[in-house]
Amino acid sequence: MTNQSDTTNYLQAFVEGMISSGVEQAVISPGSRSTPLALLLHRQEKITTFVEVDERSAAFFALGLSKASGKPVALLCTSGTAAANYYPAICEANASHIPLIVLTTDRPHELRQVGAPQAMDQFHLFQSHVKEFIEMAIPEGTKAMLDYSYWQGMRVIDTACQTPKGPVHLNFPLREPLLPDLNQALIAEKTTKIVVGKKQLSEDELIKFVDACQGKKGVLVVGGSHTPEEAKVFIELAESLNWPILSDPLANITACGKDSSLIMSYADLFIQEVEMNQSPEVVIRFGMVPISKNTMFWLQSLSETSKIYFVDETGEWQDQLKQTQVAIQAEEQLFAKAIRDRVKIKTTDSWRDQWINWQEITAQQLMKLSEMKTLNETSASILVHKKMAKDGQLFVSNSNAIRFLDRFSSPESNQYQLFGNRGINGIDGIVSTALGMCATHPNRQNVLLIGDLAMYHDMNGLLLAKRYNLPLTIVLLNNNGGGIFSFLSQRQLKSDDFEPIFGTPIDLDFSLVAQLYDAEYTKAESLEQLEQLLEATQTQAKFQLIEVVGDRQENVLLYEKVIGGLTEKLGKK
């Protein structure tokens, strides 16, 4: 049978393989079967480890670490339902292309299908939501098996990091004794390196594409998640073409710190209100459709005379509009730069000027509204965006929070980075993912904008902030329930159908939550007070909860007032 020394060497080889492929962080949940891997990761100087008891929070925390670092992150848990708790974060990682390395430990073959405690079928546990499932061999100490273990560690990280990036799952059957021999000499590092190429078009293809676009009345549409540096490249591309740019908030076009009148940050508000004389001749789309439903409806309404290009390196072609005429599989940044550098003919100013005019009218309309000067969920969200410091990190929750930012963010801001979980848009795991972001760059300004239901759903994640002193500022938009449903068709229901099933007030006193996890707590009473608190976070980071009391109905009324005003100004309908 397996001995302590074989298990130790075999797993150490795996860990070193992972390190050689770039793993620097690991999140561990306590358990017995996982003992040898947990201790080897904990003892390994090249890997920073975090420990979290709730595996669901642990996995979302790892997701946040990887989002902020751009690097693969390992996750480790014991056998049984522990692993099943990882599932929500794994689904999100798969949809948003985050390389999580999921390590589960398992009973060896002789203890399976026999009712052994904490044992269940872990084969392909995460179904189609991981890029690869590997059942590892039982540890053995032969050179062949140490080489195999090192090679799997190295290779699987590469699999996770190839385009489209995504999670992988390795299941380790382990026999007792589970305590490793920690005094054992570590095996020497190997030096295999992997160099990965990127999809690029040929010069001929690029020239042909430029010819098809330049000088035309076009629109650039940028979805997906991008760093500020990447966002700037898209803006430069728009400027070279002289086209307006529509984008998803996570594309960071509005938050990247580069000013440009071409950034249509208020598109969600005005695009369905305006009388458009002419459809665009060309649309270039990068990544998924932006979050704005109005932008989506507008894209959907374009006639077939608009030529639509869809650029996406993954080849997954996630285009719910199904109107693409040319799908281009190429690395987006290289492609955008190549086009930017080759465009010689700018489109006439009159095309973009009407867009700039719509954006400005919307800005003026917003400025006029008294609601924007008093504290409410909308004004608080706008303020959070404005008060982000250079290189700060803002995590935005799903449902209303990200929609407030999308609709109301002005393009003038410092360069900061916006993060979210927009693969599958769950409200589970937001707190932990934001804390993972914070743990990656704890010395920056770190802010989370979140509603009360999402906060409750992942309250357990707060233990990570307490244990690791993570200086996250949480701005809680508390409208006591599911505010998004007040914007959807469900709002037509009578109150005794609506409140118990959709409104779902939870009546939690969040000051107690703050106290439980040692966070500073403030209930913001005015926009000025919130502004001061946010300004302070630019220079002095700390773990704090700022509660903004909102009202579900008020959010809808304010939105309708804005749209009503624009309908009047912009003439359509």
Q: Which stretch binds its own copies (CB under 8 A): 148-156, 318-326, 411-419, 565-573?
A: 318-326
- Residue 109-128 contact track with its own copies, rule CB under 8 A, x = bound: --x-xxxxxxxxx-xxx-xx
DSSP lists the bridge partners of residue 100 as 73
Nearer to its own copies, 323 or 529 (CB): 323
The least CB distance from residue 328 to its own copies, in Å, is: 16
Task: Name residues contacting its own copies, limited to 201-240 (CB under 8 A).
Answer: none
State which residue, 95 or 154, has the beta carbon closest to its own copies: 95
Q: How many residues bind its own copies (CB under 8 A)?
A: 88
Amino acid at 252: N
- CA atoms 290, 294, 295, 296: torsion sign: positive
Instruction: Tell me if 183 contacts its own copies by CB under 8 A.
Output: no
DSSP secondary structure code for residue 109 in this structure: G
- In the list 143, 193, 322, 573, the residue contacting its own copies (rule: CB under 8 A) is 322
Closest-CA residue to 51 (of 428, 463, 437): 463
Closer to its own copies by CB, 151 or 502: give it. Answer: 502
Closer to its own copies by CB, 22 or 505: give it. Answer: 505
Query: How many CB atoms lie under 10 A from the CB of residue 572?
Result: 11
Q: CB-side exposure of 311: number of CA atoms within 13 Å?
A: 23
Rounded to a whole number of angstroms, the minimum distance from the CB of residue 30 to its own copies is 5
Residue 99 vs 287, nearer CB to its own copies: 287
Count helices and strands (H / E) in the chain: 21, 17
The answer to whether 504 and 481 are in contact (CB under 8 A) is yes
The interface mask with its own copies, positions 234-263, x = CB under 8 A, is ------------------------------
Q: Shortest gap between Cβ of 469 and its own copies (angstroms)?
A: 13
Order of strands, sheet of 168-173, starting from the edge strand that comes earlier in the sequence: 48-51, 25-28, 73-77, 100-106, 168-173, 132-135
What backbone phi and psi angles, to 5 degrees, belong to 75? -125, 135
Closer to its own copies at the Cβ: 40 or 534?
Answer: 40
**401 is written with which tokens?**
């929070």
Biggest CA pair distance of the chain: 80
402 binds its own copies (CB under 8 A): no
Tokens of 83: 């692993």
The verdict on 556 binding its own copies (CB under 8 A) reads no
Q: Does 182 bind its own copies (CB under 8 A)?
A: yes
Buried/exposed 474-500: b ≥16 CB within 10 Å, e otherwise: bbbbbbbbbbbbbbeeeeeeeeeebee
Phi, psi of 315 (to 5 degrees): 75, 5
Q: Of 91 and 366, which CB lies nearer to its own copies in the complex structure?
A: 91
Q: How far is the CB of 550 from its own copies (least distance, A)?
A: 17
453 binds its own copies (CB under 8 A): yes
If one counts every other C-beta atom within 10 angstroms of the C-beta of residue 121, the result is 9
Subset of 421-440 contacting its own copies (CB under 8 A): 422, 424-426, 428-429
Q: How far is the CB of 421 from its own copies (least distance, A)?
A: 9
By CB under 8 A, what part of segment 516-535 binds its own copies? 516
Site for its own copies in 466-505 (CB under 8 A): 466, 482, 484-485, 488-490, 492-493, 497, 500-502, 504
Q: Does 91 bind its own copies (CB under 8 A)?
A: yes
Phi then psi dihedrals of residue 54, to 5 deg: -85, 110
Q: How far is the CB of 364 from its own copies (least distance, A)?
A: 31
Where does this chain touch its own copies (CB under 8 A) — which range of 84-92, 210-218, 232-240, 385-393?
Answer: 84-92
Cβ atoms of residues 422 and 403 within 8 Å? no
Minimum CB–partner distance for residue 65 and its own copies (Å): 18
Nearer to its own copies, 372 or 453 (CB): 453
Q: With beta carbons less than 8 A apart as the criterion, state whether 18 and 157 touch.
A: yes
The answer to whether 381 contacts its own copies (rule: CB under 8 A) is no
Rounded distance, CA 163 to CA 181, Å? 38
Residue closer to its own copies (CB basis): 359 or 480: 480
Dihedral Cα 411, 412, 415, 418, nearest 10 deg: -40
Contact 61, 432 (CB under 8 A): yes
Q: Which of residues 9-38 bind its own copies (CB under 8 A)?
A: 28, 30, 32, 35, 38
Pairing of strands 393-396, 446-451: parallel
Q: Which is nearer to its own copies, 117 or 197 (CB)?
A: 117
User: Within positions 43 to 62, which residues make up the interface with its own copies, using CB under 8 A?
Assistant: 43, 51, 53-56
CB of 253 to its own copies, least distance (A): 19
Decide: residue 190, CB within 10 A, 0-12 exposed, 13-18 middle, 19+ buried. middle
DSSP structure class, residue 503: I
Least gap, CB of 14 to its own copies (angstroms): 18
Instruction: Select from 287-295, 361-369, 382-390, 535-543 the region that touches its own copies (CB under 8 A).
Output: 287-295
